[in-house]
Structure 1
């Protein structure tokens, strides 16, 4: 009976078809800018010998800020913010293309196992520490990248980070901070996710490569480097295991920045939710959107003041 229910959910649990309106709920136009000054992609070797891409914004500061991108895109989204942080001498910035993303991934939208993002990030941090032994490492992330930072903080590598900064983080699909379907641009295979979770609880991972969620990125932002669908194991790897436990594991300084015009999150819930589990400094930027918290000038002085105190 249990296996039959799981199988039915996996086969039948697909989302409704996208509507054009679902792509218009978020102001993606803020991401349309000149990217000609992007640093060249460089590569580090993960423990499975896969070469994973990243960009580096140098600085002489004794701090290193790692910025983890959100769903669907890659490190390009941080150009303006990373440039500001590095040129102001606040920190050097590293922006990885997470496995399964970017211009030429091994398998777009997929990883090899649940939790591989954390292993990759630990390997990335080890490379940075080898190059800069005395640096403080701050792990940051936007949207789903913020969720990954929370997951990392609650896992086996938590002690490797000296601080965390989360930009409009996706905490969990049913957290009080999350609007339905991330404001409309994400379409999860809800039934399939439930069915695959049932199998995972039995230790069965045979079908974890199946698609679990799709994204409706507007055409002007598409150039072949976007990732519009995630496997179950990649999607699961992006989110906290148990956000209450993972947040409770954060003992380092934690800053959350979001905009009051965010289309995907109930930003007024960040402070009461997160402060229930750990100490947090929440800054809400008036009239700033979900993408604006990354590319807008309003985030810059907040990050400058916080990094200056670390």
Structure 2
């Protein structure tokens, strides 16, 4: 009887050990449509880093874009970048929102840019704690909209379903990542990220048992070129990969939304099927307004003039 129990446990333990050791993300070629558009962006006017102190004492970086007419802003916009990126990747959008009268904060989320060790966070849920700490330490007297792009949009959805969601009175998702199995993901389009699925499965089993000691192991690697690699984050550990997205039951996140929420996406998005966002949210039980920008691809949503106008318009709507 004891042998019948111990042998399967030993086999499972060996399988998990092998997954942790050998099952990480493999090499991935740079994805041109993600890397190349930024070569044409003028970053000369990016403001110097501002910082706030998170609850663990870490200094986290953010960029402040005051409104074009000082003292005129009645609303703040807090921007969350996409996977691998940092606050400066949202520079054109931050400028457009500031020109439209918003007081803008573009964050380097922990594990990105100049906020802590790139690719790592201490625990799943730390990103939500950091965002709460930003709102507490950098208090704004008026209403605030939280905007997130791509994986950042997925994280913004996660926060909109959180108990602290009332820290923001509006939410705007920009071509958000929902889930690898969501109908919005274009089939077979895995050119941007290499996924260490065996390691993810092994770590998920251990996490379910309360064992998080191996969550520092990388599970995602992004298709960066040599130039982008100097500025961006090449890989995520398991904690960051799990935290910087919606919960696995993303439909439950959608149902828990309380504040007004909108979506903006480009019709030519090569990663996500923008036309399906409306139906996915409706089927999950919470229909939301969706703006589709003709001709905009994934990165174009944050860079093209027409797309930026659509984002500013959506941010201004009740």
Q: TM-score with structure 1 length normalisation?
A: 0.92
Deviation at 1:161, TM superposition (A): 1.4
Contact 1:215 1:229 in 2 (8 A): yes
Is it true that 1:231 corresponds to 2:231 in the alignment? no
Please give the per-residue CA displacement for 1:212-265, whole angstroms capped at 9, x wherever unaligned.
Answer: 11011123434x221101000011110112211111111221111111111111
The one of 67, 70, 76 equivalent to 1:64 is 76
Provide the C-alpha distance between the structure 2 equivalents of 1:72 and 1:197, rounded to a whole number of angstroms: 22
Q: 1:178 aligns with which of 156, 174, 185?
A: 185
Deviation at 1:27, TM superposition (A): 4.5
Aligned pair in 2 of structure 1 residues 5, 180: CA closer, same or farther (>3 Å)? farther
State how far apart, in whole Å, the 1-side matches of 2:175 and 2:188 are: 15
What's the TM-score once normalised by structure 2's chain length? 0.89
1:188 aligns with 2:201: no
1:96 deviates by 0.8
Question: Shift in Å at residue 57 of structure 1?
Answer: 0.8
**Unaligned 5+ runs, structure 1:** none
SS in 2 for 1:54: strand
Identify which range, 4-13 or 149-158, moves more after superposition: 4-13
Any conservation in 2 of the 1:28–1:291 contact (CA below 8 Å)?
no
Which has more radius of gyration?
A: 2
* Correspondence for 1:12: 22
Alpha carbons 1:46, 1:123 under 8 Å: kept: yes
1:94 to 101, 105, 112: 105
Secondary structure class of the residue paired with 2:265: strand
Which deviations, in whole Å up to 9, do the C-alpha atoms of 1:177-205 show, x marking residues without a partner? 12357641100101100110011011110
Give 4+ residue runs of structure 1 displaced > 6 Å after superposition: none
Q: 1:109 aligns with which of 101, 106, 119?
A: 119
Pairing 1:306–2:314 present: yes
User: Paired residue for 1:151?
Assistant: 158
Q: Return the alpha-carbon distance in structure 2 between the equivalents of residues 200 and 183 of structure 1.
A: 26
Match of 1:255 in 2: 262
Give me the whole-angstrom Cα distance separating, in 1, the residues matched to 2:209 and 2:243: 18
Give the conservation status (yes or no) of the 8 Å contact 1:144–1:170.
yes
8 Å contact from structure 1 (residues 259, 286) kept in 2: yes
Q: Secondary structure at the match of 1:184?
A: coil
- Please list every run of 5 or more consecutive structure 2 residues that lacks an aligned counterpart in the other structure: 1-8
Distance of aligned partners of 1:212 and 1:181 in 2 relative to their CA distance in 1, 3 Å threshold:
farther
1:208 to 209, 215, 240: 215
Q: How many residues align?
A: 301
Confirm whether residue 76 of structure 1 aligns to residue 92 of structure 2. no
Aligned residue in 1 for 2:274? 267
